[in-house]
Copies of this chain bind each other. A is one copy, B any other.
Amino acid sequence: MGQKPNAARPPLRADARDNRNRILAAAGEVFVEQGPGAPLEEISKRAGTGIATLYRRFPDRKALTRAVALDALQRTMDEVTRARDEEPTAFAALTRYMHRVLDIRIGAVFPVLLEEIPFEDEEIAAVRDEGVGIMQGLVASAQQEGDLRPDVTHGDIGMLLVRLSRPLPGPLPRELTEDLAHRHLDLLIDGLRATAGRAQALGGPSLTFDDLQSIGDGQDTAAP
């Protein structure tokens, strides 16, 4: 488990391995900035390699997309696990995790995944579901401990992270928009806190991750 079916591939040479990682990182950035259809040449250029190198490691766009998604998901898993284990309260773990997600920017990569990769992809689904499960647990705990307002779902948190992760369009330099994202997340976290004199409960649909999944199923983008 955890190895491609067609195993026994000789390990990459050191420099090739480096290049592969650089391409993966660059692809993450470019997908976040320009969307999942961004030109692959842009990615290879940003990685400092030729276009051929990219195609050698990832036979087509789908393979690259998938690798990026898997990589980001795994890092996110790491973060949520570590946050849960190291922070004193569930709420603290949640906030720490949220800030870290902004840094990874998986929030912005994740929707790409949703659009381009079938929901059934096993390897991805496994990592994803485990991470979602942990998050769900944190949310429930934080609500039981009275720190997190009871009317939000882990789906809300996920979607808010997506919103905050995406870079603001326009001429702002990247570093600045990232600082702003953290600032705005702080603002949001204050809104997530449980408070005695809350005016009223939230309106609108309170979706969970599973709801999103079932909605996604009925979709089709085929052309005649």
Contact = CB atoms under 8 A, between A and B. Distances in A.
Interface of A: 35, 111-112, 114-115, 152, 156, 159-160, 162-164, 166, 168-173, 176, 179-180, 182-184, 186-192, 195, 198-199, 202-207, 212, 215-216, 219
A164 B166 CA distance: 11
B114 A171 contact: yes
Q: How many copies does the complex hold?
A: 2
Contact of A183 (B35, B115, B205): B205
A107 B212 CA distance: 25
A115 B114 CA distance: 28
Please list the 5 inter-chain residue pairs (A to B) with the smallest Cβ-Cβ separation, ordered nearest first. A191-B191, A183-B204, A111-B169, A190-B191, A114-B170
B114 A212 contact: no
Interface centre among A189, A190, A212 (most CB of B within 10 A): A190
A32 to B, nearest CB: 11
Contacts of A166: 163, 166
11 contacts: A114-B170, A152-B187, A156-B183, A160-B184, A160-B187, A163-B166, A163-B168, A182-B203, A182-B204, A183-B205, A191-B192
